[in-house]
């Protein structure tokens, strides 16, 4: 039988197309794919119109009311030209209620995955013209259906395994927070710090991989909120006027779970960076959530501007407090007049929006000098500090003094 949650989505288009094609080819009234359980059968996909409205998607009937299991074990042939001539099936409730006069049916399944069902076409009237060669046609489409189901269940098995792994990560403290300072380019003073996630399990895969898998398995919100909650615990360790920046996708920001995490924190020192793993869609839920954040005096930042999905229209609509210039524009900016022109335009754009512009990925003194000359006021990158354990960065931010204008000692 199909060993999966019945609510899970199947590859509908492929199966529906296969059913319709074989039904029309054979001139049958109805075609269906059933899902077999030990004591019942469920119609999962239906093509055509059952005049008695008996065969409907999602309908569950007792297994002994239909011929599926009898065909699967070989008690009934795959082709029946006239059900009235077969004592074993003529009185089955399904044959009577669905008015089945003839049919061609082939089991579908794959032993390794353990699922089983039936690909069936039937007509209300007896059909002397259907023959053994029609089994080949139905079998071909049944194999196509089996292949689609196998791919679906293999993928679903992988997703379920990912969900278990991610649940363990969330529950077993396998996630920790590193901080990376955001500094003033004029004097190196740390103004804020971005919270970055680190994973103790399979660290070689990197945080981007983990969050991508969370998105694949519908656990994006749970993982991002967990990271934010952990990051917020380090806010009291930071200097009194320094901001903590946390990352969240638009989907997460619009969720009640995220809003619950925002309760009871010193919001006037918090910045939410909208990450761009996909196009930022200005949904009513997101725009309402951003309004709530502003009412709480929580700052809004847009990440990876210049290389991500956010265009200028999106930036204008979202009205961010901070615009983060992507590292692709920052890298070797001192030797590229085009990047310098773009950055100068972004400086003007940010000033017009009354937003701060932060240059990400600053790695050299030459980049620092060029950005400062162009009017960029804030920077983040290895040139100032590498990400490190939150407690270490928070302590160095507190201990900062004018005589030590950078944090290059952080490893």
pLDDT tens-digit map of 289-308 = 999 999 999 999 998 786 65
Asked whether the beta carbons of 324 and 306 are under 8 A apart, the reply is no
Architecture of the CATH domain 173-398: Alpha-Beta Barrel (3.20)
d(CA 33, CA 52): 18
pLDDT at 315: 86
- Name the more confident of 245 and 72: 245
Pairing of strands 190-199, 243-248: parallel
d(CA 125, CA 216): 47
The pair of three-digit structure tokens given for residue 375, joined into one six-digit string? 């009017």
CA-to-CA separations, 329 to 59, 102, 185, 311, 342, in angstroms, rounded = 57, 69, 17, 15, 8
pLDDT at 407: 45
Pairing of strands 190-199, 175-184: antiparallel
pLDDT at 347: 95
Coil, helix or strand at residue 360? strand
With a cut of 80, say whether residue 2 has pLDDT above it: no
With a cut of 80, say whether residue 191 has pLDDT above it: yes
pLDDT at 98: 94
Mean pLDDT for 160-189 is: 90
Coil, helix or strand at residue 41? strand
pLDDT at 310: 58
pLDDT at 193: 97
Q: How many CA atoms lie within 13 A of 294 on its CB side?
A: 13
Place of tokens 């918090």: 270
Mean pLDDT for 202-210 is: 87
pLDDT-derived band at 153, boundaries 50, 70, 90: low
Mean pLDDT for 374-396 is: 95
Asked whether the beta carbons of 81 and 126 are under 8 A apart, the reply is yes
CB atoms closer than 10 angstroms to residue 277: 16
H or E, element range at 86? none
Domain with CATH 3.20.20.450 in the chain: 173-398
Domain with CATH 3.30.450.40 in the chain: 12-159
β-bridge partners, 35: 42, 117
pLDDT at 352: 93
pLDDT at 307: 65
Lowest mean pLDDT among 47-61, 79-93, 115-129, 140-154: 140-154
Mean pLDDT for 110-124 is: 72
Asked whether the beta carbons of 409 and 400 are under 8 A apart, the reply is no
Lowest mean pLDDT among 14-23, 59-68, 83-92: 14-23
pLDDT at 397: 92
Pairing of strands 270-274, 190-199: unpaired
pLDDT at 277: 58
With a cut of 70, say whether residue 25 has pLDDT above it: yes
With a cut of 80, say whether residue 16 has pLDDT above it: yes
pTM above 0.85, yes or no: no
pLDDT tens-digit map of 307-331 = 655 567 888 888 999 999 999 999 9
pLDDT at 406: 47
Mean pLDDT for 249-257 is: 93
pLDDT tens-digit map of 30-75 = 999 888 888 999 998 899 987 788 999 999 999 999 998 888 888 9
Q: Please state which CATH class domain 12-159 belongs to.
A: alpha beta
CB atoms closer than 10 angstroms to residue 311: 12
pLDDT-derived band at 114, boundaries 50, 70, 90: very low
If you average pLDDT over every residue of the chain, what do you get? 86
d(CA 41, CA 33): 10
Residue 87, judged by CB atoms within 10 A of its CB (0-12, 13-18, 19+), counts as exposed
Among the listed residues 101, 92, 115, 121, the one whose alpha carbon sits nearest the alpha carbon of residue 30: 121
Among the listed residues 61, 29, 27, the one whose alpha carbon sits nearest the alpha carbon of residue 44: 61
Asked whether the beta carbons of 216 and 159 are under 8 A apart, the reply is yes
Percent of the chain with pLDDT over 90: 58
With a cut of 70, say whether residue 10 has pLDDT above it: no
In the DSSP assignment, the letter for residue 92 is: -
pLDDT-derived band at 404, boundaries 50, 70, 90: low
- DSSP strands (E only) in 210-369: 243-248, 270-274, 299-305, 322-325, 356-360
- Name the more confident of 84 and 2: 84
pLDDT at 334: 95
Place of tokens 């354990």: 389
- Name the more confident of 184 and 160: 184
């Amino acid at each position: 039988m199909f060993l999966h949650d019945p609510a899970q989505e199947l590859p509908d288009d492929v199966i529906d197309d296969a059913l319709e094609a074989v039904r029309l080819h054979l001139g049958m009234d109805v075609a269906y794919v059933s899902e077999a359980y030990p004591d019942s059968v469920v119609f999962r996909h239906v093509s055509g119109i059952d005049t008695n409205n008996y065969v409907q998607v999602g309908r569950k009937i007792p297994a002994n009311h239909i011929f599926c299991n009898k065909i699967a074990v070989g008690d009934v042939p795959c082709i029946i030209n006239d059900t009235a001539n077969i004592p074993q099936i003529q009185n089955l409730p399904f044959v009577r209620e669905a008015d089945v006069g003839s049919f061609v049916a082939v089991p579908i399944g794959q032993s390794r995955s353990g699922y089983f069902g039936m690909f069936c076409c039937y007509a209300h009237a007896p059909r002397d013209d259907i023959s053994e060669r029609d089994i080949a046609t139905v079998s071909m489409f049944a194999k196509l259906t089996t292949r689609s189901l196998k791919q679906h269940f293999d993928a679903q098995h992988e997703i379920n395994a990912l969900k278990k792994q991610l649940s363990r990560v969330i529950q077993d403290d396998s996630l920790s927070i590193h901080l990376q300072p955001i500094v003033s380019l004029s004097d190196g003073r740390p103004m804020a710090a971005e919270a970055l996630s680190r994973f103790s399990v399979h660290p070689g895969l990197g945080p981007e991989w983990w969050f991508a898998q969370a998105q694949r398995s519908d656990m994006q919100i749970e993982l991002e909120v967990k990271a934010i909650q952990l990051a917020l615990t380090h806010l009291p360790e930071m200097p009194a006027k320094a901001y903590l920046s946390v990352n969240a996708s638009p989907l997460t920001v619009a969720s009640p779970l995220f809003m619950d995490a925002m309760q009871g924190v010193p919001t006037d020192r918090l910045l939410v960076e909208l990450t761009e793993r996909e196009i930022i869609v200005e949904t009513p839920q997101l725009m309402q959530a951003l309004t709530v954040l502003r009412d709480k005096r929580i700052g809004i930042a847009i990440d990876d501007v210049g290389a991500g999905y956010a265009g200028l229209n999106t930036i204008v609509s979202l009205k961010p407090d901070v615009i983060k210039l992507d590292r692709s524009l920052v890298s070797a900016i001192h030797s590229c007049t085009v990047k310098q022109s773009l950055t100068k335009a972004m400086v003007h754009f940010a000033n017009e929006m009354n937003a701060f512009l932060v240059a990400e990925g600053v790695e050299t003194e030459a980049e620092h000098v060029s950005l400062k000359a162009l009017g960029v006021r804030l920077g983040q990158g290895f040139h100032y500090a590498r990400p490190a354990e939150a407690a270490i960065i928070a302590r160095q931010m507190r201990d900062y003094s004018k005589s030590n204008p950078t944090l290059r000692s952080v490893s």
